[in-house]
């Protein structure tokens, strides 16, 4: 799980309660909006468009460039599959079916404190998501199998890695899809999860800024709740400053 540098702002208990409620409402609306976008965009991300006959589908087709794409996928898989997963480097040909469903999971990371006696807490972002092809092995299950808290299922682990690797590769081979996300007002980036061997994941960010309170405030809240988890807070001041990329582009043409 990654660690983040994020804006800090002080607030009192009353402010926190109000902002937590508004953050929850906005987070639900943003998540619903993203799910709708991913469903509409799904036909553009069909795995066979990239991999052709190298992936099992109802209609196996030869696709120009699929040889190169599969070779890139094989190379990237081989680079991460051994540690910490213990998987063989060679991918099967053709690959097992890859779901055409695009899934979005809120981005999570650990927050560490200066006092090493205080355990780190898990922080969830209301405005950033890791997206991947759907499947039965999301990141939290991958982590559980790596940690040994869940029995290792090698086929499931391999499929989970393939789902993330294929989507990251898709955006590299079809860069116009990155621009489509930008036009929908998402920032797109690919990150490596070092606790999972550097597996690349695609992260989308809504045009909403967030912040965290100071460490001592977060510790008080988590101690009261008894749950070592916290959610970033959506900054109401930043909402007023949401930019319009199309407006800014047109303004640049005028100037």
pLDDT at 241: 84
* 10-residue stretch averages of pLDDT, the chain, 255 residues long: 78 95 96 97 96 90 93 97 94 94 95 84 96 91 93 95 97 95 95 92 96 95 92 90 84 86
Where are any strands of DSSP class E within 134-213? 187-193, 199-205, 210-211
Q: Is 197 left (phi over 0), alpha (psi -120 to 50) or beta?
A: left
Q: Is 80 left (phi over 0), alpha (psi -120 to 50) or beta?
A: alpha
Q: Give the C-alpha separation, 39 to 45, whole Å.
A: 10
Which of 76, 30, 101 has its CA nearest to residue 198?
76
Residues 89, 190: contact at Cβ < 8 Å? no
Tell me the whole-structure pTM to 2 decimals. 0.92
The residue behind tokens 């998987």 is: 87
Number of H helices, E strands in the chain: 9, 7
Residue range 98-125, pLDDT digits in tens: 999 999 999 999 999 887 778 899 999 9
Which of 202, 204, 166 has its CA nearest to residue 182?
204
Token pair for 197? 């061997």
Q: Give the C-alpha separation, 5 to 193, whole Å.
A: 15
Q: Enumerate residues 6+ apart whose C-beta is below 8 A from 5.
A: none
Residue range 23-32, pLDDT digits in tens: 999 999 999 9
pLDDT at 2: 57
Q: Is residue 64 classed as helix, strand or coil in its secondary structure?
A: coil
pLDDT at 244: 83
Token pair for 97? 């079916």
Start-to-end C-alpha separation, the chain: 43
Environment class of 151 (CB within 10 Å of its CB; exposed 0-12, middle 13-18, buried 19+): exposed
What count of Cα atoms within 13 Å lies in the side-chain half-sphere of residue 225? 12
């Amino acid at each position: 799980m990654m660690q983040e540098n994020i804006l800090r702002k002080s607030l009192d208990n009353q402010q926190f309660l109000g902002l937590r409620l508004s953050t929850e409402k906005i987070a639900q609306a943003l998540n619903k909006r993203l799910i709708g976008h991913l469903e509409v965009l799904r036909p553009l991300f069909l795995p066979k468009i990239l991999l052709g006959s190298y992936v099992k589908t109802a209609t196996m087709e030869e696709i120009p460039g699929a040889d190169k794409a599969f070779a890139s996928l094989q190379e990237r898989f081989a680079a991460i599959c051994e540690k910490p997963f213990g998987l063989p480097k060679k991918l099967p040909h053709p690959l097992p079916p890859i779901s055409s469903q695009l899934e979005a999971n809120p981005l999570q990371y650990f927050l560490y404190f200066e006092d090493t006696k205080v355990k780190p807490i898990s922080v969830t972002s209301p405005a950033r998501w890791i997206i991947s092809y759907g499947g039965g092995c999301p990141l939290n299950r991958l982590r559980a199998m790596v940690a040994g808290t869940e029995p290792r299922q090698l086929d499931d682990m391999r499929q989970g890695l393939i789902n993330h690797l294929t989507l990251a590769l898709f955006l590299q081979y079809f860069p116009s899809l990155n621009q489509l996300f930008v036009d929908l007002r998402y920032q797109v980036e690919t990150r490596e999860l070092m606790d999972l061997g550097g597996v690349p994941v695609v992260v989308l960010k809504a045009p909403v800024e967030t912040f965290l309170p100071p460490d001592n405030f977060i510790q008080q809240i988590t101690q009261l709740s008894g749950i070592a988890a916290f959610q970033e807070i959506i900054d109401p001041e930043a909402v007023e400053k949401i930019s319009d990329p199309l407006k800014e582009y047109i303004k640049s043409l005028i100037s």
